[in-house]
Amino acid sequence: MKRLMISSVLIVFAAGGCFKNPVSTRTGQPPAGIVGTWETPASPEAVIRNLLFSYNEMFIQNFQSCLAEDFYFSSPEDSIRAEAQGSGYLYYDWGKAVEISTAQNIFSTFSAPGRKLDLIMAESFENPDSLGDTLAVVYRQYILRSIVVDSLGADTTTMSGLATFRLSQAMLSFWTINSWRDIPDRPAGPSWGNFKAMYRR
Amino acid sequence: MSQLNKITILLIMAVYSPVLSQTLDGLYFVFSRNNNTYNWESRYNRRLETKRFSAGIALDGYSILIKKPGKRWQENLTAGFEGRYKLLDDLHISPSISHSRAALQDRLIYSSDFKISAAYSGLGFIRAEPFIGNLWRKNIEPSGERINRGPSFGLQTDLRKIAVKGYPLRVSGSYSSFAIDKIPYSQFRAAIGSERIWENGDTLQWNFENFDGVKKYYSGSQAGENLVRQVKVERGARWLSRTAAGKLLVIRAAAGAVRSNYYYDSSNPKPLLSESDNFSESYNYSVQIEKNWRNKIFAQAAYRWRSDKQDFLGNLLDLWSELGEVLFKAGVSVTSKDSVGFDCVFGVTSFYGLHGPTINERDQRTTIMNIRFKRIFNRHFWGEIRTGYSLFHQLYINSISSGNNNRNETYLLGSRFGWNVFRPVRLIEDFEIQANYISYDYDRLTINTRNRIFRRASWNTGIEIRFSQSLIIKPGYLYRYEDYGKLFWTENNWQQATGWDRRYHRIEAKMEYIPVPWLKIEPQYIWESKSDYNYVFAPSDSGHGDILRQTAGRDLKQTAALAAFWRIDAEQDLTVSYNRRVWTAPGRNREIGDFLNVAVRYIF
State the pLDDT at residue B236.
97
State the pLDDT at residue B359.
74
Instruction: Choose among A182, A167, A168, A144: nearest CA to A55.
Output: A144
User: Is the dihedral angle over the CA atoms B354, B359, B365, B366 positive or is it negative?
Assistant: negative
Which residues from chain B sit within 8 angstroms of residue A23, using beta carbons? 346, 348, 365
Q: Are A2 and A8 in contact (CB under 8 A)?
A: no
pLDDT at B15 over 60: no
Range in B134-148, B216-230, B365-379, B441-455 the model is least confident about: B216-230
CA distance, residue B243 to nearest chain A CA (Å): 7
Chain centroid to Cα B75, Å, comes to 25
Alpha helices (H) in B399-466, listed in sequence order: none
Q: Among partner residues B397, B452, B484, which is closest to A28 by beta-carbon distance?
A: B397
DSSP-derived 3-state class of residue B404: helix
* Pairwise pLDDT comparison (B406 vs B604), residue with the higher score: B406
State the pLDDT at residue B548.
86
Each residue's pLDDT tens digit in chain A (201 positions)?
555 555 566 566 655 568 899 999 998 888 765 567 777 677 899 899 999 999 998 888 789 889 998 899 999 888 888 877 777 888 888 999 889 889 988 988 888 888 889 999 999 888 889 887 788 999 999 999 998 887 777 888 899 999 999 999 865 457 899 999 999 998 878 999 999 998 887
Confidence of residue B132 (pLDDT cuts 50, 70, 90): very high
State the pLDDT at residue B495.
84
For residue range B91-107, what is the model confidence (pLDDT) as tens digits?
Answer: 999 999 999 999 988 88
Residue A40 DSSP class: -
pLDDT at B21 over 60: no
Instruction: Choose among B56, B6, B53, B46: nearest CA to B24.
Output: B46
Which domains does chain B show, CATH number per domain? 405-562+576-597 (2.40.170.20)
Which phi and psi (to 5°) does residue A200 adopt? Answer: -65, 135
Confidence of residue B18 (pLDDT cuts 50, 70, 90): very low
DSSP-derived 3-state class of residue B222: coil
Cis peptide bond prior to A30, omega within 30° of 0: no
Confidence of residue B315 (pLDDT cuts 50, 70, 90): low
Which residues from chain A sit within 8 angstroms of residue B222, using beta carbons? 79, 83, 88, 91-92
- Pairwise CA distance, residues B302 & B252, whole Å: 9
pLDDT at B456 over 90: yes
Q: Dmax of chain B from CA atoms?
A: 101
- Pairwise CA distance, residues A39 & A47, whole Å: 8
- Quote the percentage of chain B above a pLDDT of 70: 91
State the pLDDT at residue B23.
55
Angle (CA) B587 B589 B594, round 5°: 140
Q: Among partner residues A5, A12, A92, which is closest to B285 by beta-carbon distance?
A: A12
Which domains does chain A show, CATH number per domain? 40-198 (3.10.450.50)
Q: Which residues face B302 on adjacent strands? A: B288, B327
Residue B599 backbone class (left: φ over 0; alpha: ψ -120 to 50; beta: rest):
beta
Judge whether A150 is closer than 8 Å to chain B, CB to CB: no
Closest residue, chain A, to B451 (C-alpha): A40
Instruction: Choose among A183, A187, A179: nearest CA to A141.
Output: A183
State the pLDDT at residue A9.
60
The DSSP string of A65-127 is: HTEEEEEEEE-HHHHHHHHHTT-GGGGTT--HHHHHHHHHHHHHHHTSTTEEEEEEEEE-SSS
Give chain B's mean pLDDT: 88
Q: Which residues face B475 on adjacent strands? A: B509
Range in A167-171, B14-18, B40-44 the model is least confident about: B14-18
Beta-carbon neighbour count of residue B400 at 10 Å?
21
Alpha helices (H) in B545-586, listed in sequence order: none
Q: Among partner residues A20, A30, A92, which is closest to B305 by beta-carbon distance?
A: A20
Instruction: Choose among B205, B176, B174: nearest CA to B190.
Output: B174
Residue B528 DSSP class: E
- Residue type for position B62: Y
Mean pLDDT of B563-567: 94
- Pairwise CA distance, residues A177 & A137, whole Å: 9
- Pairwise CA distance, residues B235 & A56, whole Å: 50
- Pairwise CA distance, residues B442 & B450, whole Å: 10
CA distance, residue A176 to nearest chain B CA (Å): 14
pLDDT at B9 over 60: no
- Residue type for position A129: D
Confidence of residue B13 (pLDDT cuts 50, 70, 90): very low
Q: How many CB pairs under 8 A join A and B?
A: 134
Alpha helices (H) in B485-529, listed in sequence order: none
Q: Is B401–A8 a contact, with Cβ atoms under 8 angstroms apart?
A: no
- Pairwise CA distance, residues A88 & A75, whole Å: 11
Distances B428 to A58, A149, B298, B381 between C-alpha atoms, Å: 57, 76, 29, 10
Residues 6+ apart with CB under 8 A from B24: B45, B603
Q: Is B402–A31 a contact, with Cβ atoms under 8 angstroms apart?
A: yes
State the pLDDT at residue B213.
96
For residue range A156-169, what is the model confidence (pLDDT) as tens digits?
Answer: 889 999 999 999 98
For chain B, counts of helices (H) and of strands (E): 1, 28
Range in A56-70, B195-209, B269-283, B458-472 the model is least confident about: B269-283
- Pairwise CA distance, residues B354 & B317, whole Å: 9
State the pLDDT at residue B425.
95
Residue B34 DSSP class: E
Q: Is A61–B403 a contact, with Cβ atoms under 8 angstroms apart?
A: yes
- What element of type H or E holds B94? strand B91-104
Q: Are B97 and B136 in contact (CB under 8 A)?
A: no
State the pLDDT at residue B11.
38
User: Is the dihedral angle over the CA atoms B193, B198, B201, B202 positive or is it negative?
Assistant: negative
Mean pLDDT of B157-183: 89
Which residues from chain B sit within 8 angstroms of residue A32, using beta carbons? 399-400
Beta-carbon neighbour count of residue A196 at 10 Å?
25
Mean pLDDT of B256-264: 93
Mean pLDDT of B242-249: 82
Q: Is B348–A1 a contact, with Cβ atoms under 8 angstroms apart?
A: no
Confidence of residue B480 (pLDDT cuts 50, 70, 90): very high
Beta-carbon neighbour count of residue B346 at 10 Å?
18
Q: Is A61–B404 a contact, with Cβ atoms under 8 angstroms apart?
A: yes
Judge whether A109 is closer than 8 Å to chain B, CB to CB: no
DSSP-derived 3-state class of residue B7: helix
Judge whether A3 is closer than 8 Å to chain B, CB to CB: no
Q: Is A9–B253 a contact, with Cβ atoms under 8 angstroms apart?
A: yes
- Quote the percentage of chain B above a pLDDT of 90: 59
- Find which of A190-199, B27-36, B567-576 is predicted with most confidence, using mean pLDDT: A190-199
ipTM: 0.75
CA distance, residue A190 to nearest chain B CA (Å): 21
Judge whether A91 is closer than 8 Å to chain B, CB to CB: yes
- What element of type H or E holds B162? strand B144-164
* Pairwise pLDDT comparison (B545 vs B88), residue with the higher score: B88
Mean pLDDT of B246-261: 89
Beta-carbon neighbour count of residue B187 at 10 Å?
16
* CB neighbour class for B224 (10 Å; exposed up to 12, middle 13-18, buried from 19): exposed
